[in-house]
Structure 1
Amino acid sequence: MNRDHQTCPRCSAGLAGHPPEPPWCPACEWNLARYDRFAVASEWGNRQLDRLAHRVAFGLDGLTFRRLSGAPDARRGGRAGRGLLLVLCALVAALGPAALLGGGWLIAAGPGATPYLGLALVLLAVVLRPRLRRGRPDWFWEVPREAAPAFYALLERTAAATGAPMPAVVGFSATVNASAGHWGRYRYLDIGLPLWAALPAQPRVALLAHEFGHFVNHDVRDRRLVATARRTLATLADTVGRTLLRVFGPFALPVVLPLNAALALLLVLGQRDGQRAEYLADRLAADAAGGPAVGALLTLLLVGEELIPALRAIRGRAARPEDWRTAGVQALRNGGDLRLREQRSLRTEASLLATHPPVGRRLRMAAAHPAGRAPAVVLGEAEAERIDAELAPWYDRLRARAAEAAYI
């Protein structure tokens, strides 16, 4: 790198980035992969491990992007990693039942002190037992069909366009986010009301279509087997591993380290396959709402942390739909150079444990979507206003939550 840190040694273009972050070249993206310890949170508890993990994650992000950007259908991609993940999850999920059966047998048939070992295995099985979700979370505001017929009509059109089933439970939360998945046997759709309110009409369709995409894109992260295995290993590594270290000290490391390594492998495999699912969900959203609508959605997500401060500056915390839309426009203005922000996200959001690809890569994937294709679902301004009128009670809840600043 040049001593003055002003020009790129590869293409001589001016560099971007403000100290102490490592500079990069906006033209050829030289040095963009470099780890920034000031902007990237530690995930592994060791700077050298964090640096190595970031380098691997950045490379895998690029590999996944290049592999999927030219693939017409990404549903069947990553079979080897997904197969390894499911095998690992099946083995881990079997630990609890195996401990229960083995412990019961030792208690019943074992001589001498063996029953005590059996009792310990039974207690371990109790600790690892499956835990079913009961009821709705407190942060989830369910929307009944009869209270919002126009909103549900839009949901049904979008579900049909993506080939997804309708969720059994639909509702809002006070977050700048959205999610879809399963609570037990029931599909749910959770839409962050601030994000929904800040979006123009057509990007709202893109948001819904993206979430519906998770019902059809074979996202392994939402499978009960994967969730059970993740919870089992996390319990073993945290509760059991911590107890062993407290009792046996360094002599417990031969047991504790493999547990933590297995948990890390399970998380990495699940999240990397999840990135494929996110790209596919974006692709389904582009088919349903149009590529520009997906681009607008992702651009707002790129500056999402500016949304709530922009609302405060404009209207305090009134949190009416029109205030959120104004705040969305202001957040984009406050975001500075969006192209540099997009590039920087490739560095700061590169992680082996990330649930989503960097927003910058998702924007590039959306830009590669075939242009000129008419969206399957169109939401006009009049219909969007009618939906907002139906959702007035939920906006009132958001206004109350904003007054408490509980979502910040």
Structure 2
Amino acid sequence: MGSRSTAEATSVRECPECRAPVPVDDRYVGWCAACDWNVDPGAPDPEPGRIPAARRRLAHAYGEQLAAEMEQGGGRSGPVGRDAATVSAFALSLLVHGVTVLLLVTGILLIVLGWNTGVQPVLGALLLGLAAVLRPRPGRLPKNAPVLYRADAPRLFELIDEVGAAVGTAGVHAVVVSAEAEAAVTTYGLRARRMMVLGLGLWEILLPQERVALLGHELGHFAHGDTRRGIVTGGALKALSTWFYVLAPNRPQGLMDWFVNAVTFLPRWTAYGLLVLLDHLTLRASQRAEYLADVSAARAGSTEAAVGLMDRLLVSRAVGSELRRESAAAQMQGGAAGREARDAAERGLWDRLAAHMATVPEHEYERLRRVAARRGHRVDSTHPPTHLRRRCAAAGGPYTAQVTYDEDRGAAVAQELAPARATLARRVIRDHVR
């Protein structure tokens, strides 16, 4: 795969605000680099609701402060430690799960001891159902996506192991391949085996060393820890969110609605208060873990690759629309010609996607960088703003690559991914990716 395109617009127009020249490219937003005119048209509204708003406030408070600390420390920091906030968050999470256990036990007792009453077993069944919804769940391997194990893709797992060693952790037990522009790590099963989700929509548009940086970032989450990803604290956050929405007030239409809203008022706001408290105790550590994962990406693949990866993430939102366009185009014809067109579309899908994304001009990357800096935490509270992540990835650097992704390795990994690529290309073309 070649280097990122530096193609620029072939014509310019005059900025209506400052009269500076504005590149014109019909595929992308026209904007002015001199005064930021039209740099962020149609900015999305933040996610509505009290909980997302509270998280955005906390994330904004921590973002700049943590970035400054990372830069001063040169990006050198160990795993997220068991400080007072982390211990308090763990204790609060256990308390939340204790309520779930109490619901479970109470439900069983109501069913067993009140069987002859008729009413108590119904109430007990409701409590059991609520406990089932609130319980922490171990992750599972997806049933509808290709899953690779070490025997299926030894060179890919060798690469993951090497990157893991570079960032100070072990590899994974399974790789789930998806069509989306995504990547993630988590655990699955009662034994908490490690799993990596590798989205071809992202993997295929990356340069070789950017792929190493991507693996370094994801494995960095294992190396540095993130309490919000764990089954205890993560499960408690989900349980409190569920409580808050289950107890949400109904629009009063009668005396009963007023009564129910009054009865649920205190529990609802207790759940909200505990959720904000748990967010407060964990969000700083989670943001810090994200910054540390970016440093891991730089150490594994190089600073240049880590920064390039972040730029690719900015444009990855266009991958879904491009795949849908490919699917729609392949579905236009019917009969034998249509089948041949779909077969051809499947065979070259990922190569065409990579070629299309390689034509994104530099001025569009720059626009998206400025948009990310403007929006900050207003839209996404789970990740620090891209401009802060770029700064922190370079902290203590520049880093040279500890793991290289040469042509031989790339060809071997591509061959191992070929069956998954074919399966997912067929789904994209035949089933319309959503």
Question: Same fold judged by TM-score > 0.5?
Answer: yes
Higher RCO structure (Cα 8 Å, ≥6 apart): 2
Q: Does 1:327 align with 2:356?
A: yes
Find the partner of 2:130 among 127, 131, 138. 127
Q: What residue is the counterpart of 1:97 in the other structure?
A: 101
Q: What residue is the counterpart of 2:72 in the other structure?
A: 70
The CA distance in 1 between the partners of 2:278 and 2:142, in whole Å, is 26
Q: Does 1:374 align with 2:394?
A: no
Q: Does 1:339 align with 2:366?
A: yes
Find the partner of 1:61 among 50, 60, 63. 63
The CA distance in 2 between the partners of 1:407 and 1:279, in whole Å, is 31
The CA distance in 1 between the partners of 2:108 and 2:35, in whole Å, is 66
Query: After superposition, where does 1:247-286 map in structure 2 within 5 Å?
Result: 248-251=259-262, 252-267=264-279, 269-286=281-298
One-letter code of the match for 1:63? Q
Q: Does 1:39 align with 2:41?
A: no
One-letter code of the match for 1:391? L
One-letter code of the match for 1:336? H
The CA distance in 2 between the partners of 1:386 and 1:247, in whole Å, is 65
Unaligned runs of 5+ in 2: 1-15, 20-32, 330-344
Q: Is the 8 A contact 2:136 2:232 kept in 1?
A: no
Q: Does 1:299 align with 2:301?
A: no
The change in CA–CA distance for 1:262 and 1:117 in structure 2 (over 3 A counts) is farther
Query: After superposition, where does 1:161-200 map in structure 2 within 5 Å?
Result: 161-184=166-189, 185-200=192-207
Q: Does 1:206 align with 2:213?
A: yes
One-letter code of the match for 1:127? L
The CA distance in 2 between the partners of 1:178 and 1:218, in whole Å, is 17
Aligned-pair CA distance for 1:340: 3.8
Structure-2-length-normalised TM-score: 0.74
The CA distance in 1 between the partners of 2:210 and 2:39, in whole Å, is 35
Q: Is the 8 A contact 2:295 2:395 kept in 1?
A: no
Q: Does 1:361 align with 2:388?
A: yes
The CA distance in 2 between the partners of 1:56 and 1:234, in whole Å, is 17
The CA distance in 2 between the partners of 1:284 and 1:385, in whole Å, is 25
Unaligned runs of 5+ in 1: 8-12, 22-36
The change in CA–CA distance for 1:276 and 1:139 in structure 2 (over 3 A counts) is farther
Q: What residue is the counterpart of 1:88 in the other structure?
A: 92
The CA distance in 1 between the partners of 2:213 and 2:39, in whole Å, is 37
> Residues 289-342 of structure 1, C-alpha deviation per residue, up to 9 Å, x if partnerless?
111111111110011123344567899654544323212312x32x73433422
| SS of residue in 2 equivalent to 1:189 | strand
The change in CA–CA distance for 1:337 and 1:391 in structure 2 (over 3 A counts) is closer
Q: Is the 8 A contact 2:80 2:226 kept in 1?
A: no
Q: Does 1:217 align with 2:228?
A: no
Percent identity at matched positions? 24
Q: Is the 8 A contact 2:110 2:124 kept in 1?
A: no
Q: Is the 8 A contact 2:40 2:371 kept in 1?
A: no
Aligned-pair CA distance for 1:125: 5.1
> Residues 17-48 of structure 1, C-alpha deviation per residue, up to 9 Å, x if partnerless?
43986xxxxxxxxxxxxxxx9423233269xx
| SS of residue in 2 equivalent to 1:336 | helix
The CA distance in 2 between the partners of 1:247 and 1:118, in whole Å, is 27
Q: What residue is the counterpart of 2:424 in the other structure?
A: 398
Q: What residue is the counterpart of 1:350 in the other structure?
A: 377
269-278 vs 296-305, which moves further: 269-278
Q: Is the 8 A contact 1:78 1:273 kept in 2?
A: no
The CA distance in 2 between the partners of 1:256 and 1:308, in whole Å, is 38
Aligned-pair CA distance for 1:16: 1.5
The change in CA–CA distance for 1:328 and 1:99 in structure 2 (over 3 A counts) is same
195-204 vs 374-383, which moves further: 374-383
Q: What residue is the counterpart of 2:22 in the other structure?
A: none
Aligned-pair CA distance for 1:240: 4.8
The change in CA–CA distance for 1:265 and 1:282 in structure 2 (over 3 A counts) is same
Aligned-pair CA distance for 1:395: 0.9
The CA distance in 2 between the partners of 1:226 and 1:55, in whole Å, is 20
The CA distance in 2 between the partners of 1:329 and 1:19, in whole Å, is 21
The CA distance in 1 between the partners of 2:204 and 2:283, in whole Å, is 29
One-letter code of the match for 1:294? A
| SS of residue in 2 equivalent to 1:128 | helix
One-letter code of the match for 1:376? Q
> Residues 117-150 of structure 1, C-alpha deviation per residue, up to 9 Å, x if partnerless?
8985784355224364585223432013233222
The change in CA–CA distance for 1:238 and 1:117 in structure 2 (over 3 A counts) is farther
Q: Is the 8 A contact 2:71 2:391 kept in 1?
A: no
Find the partner of 2:156 among 140, 151, 154. 151
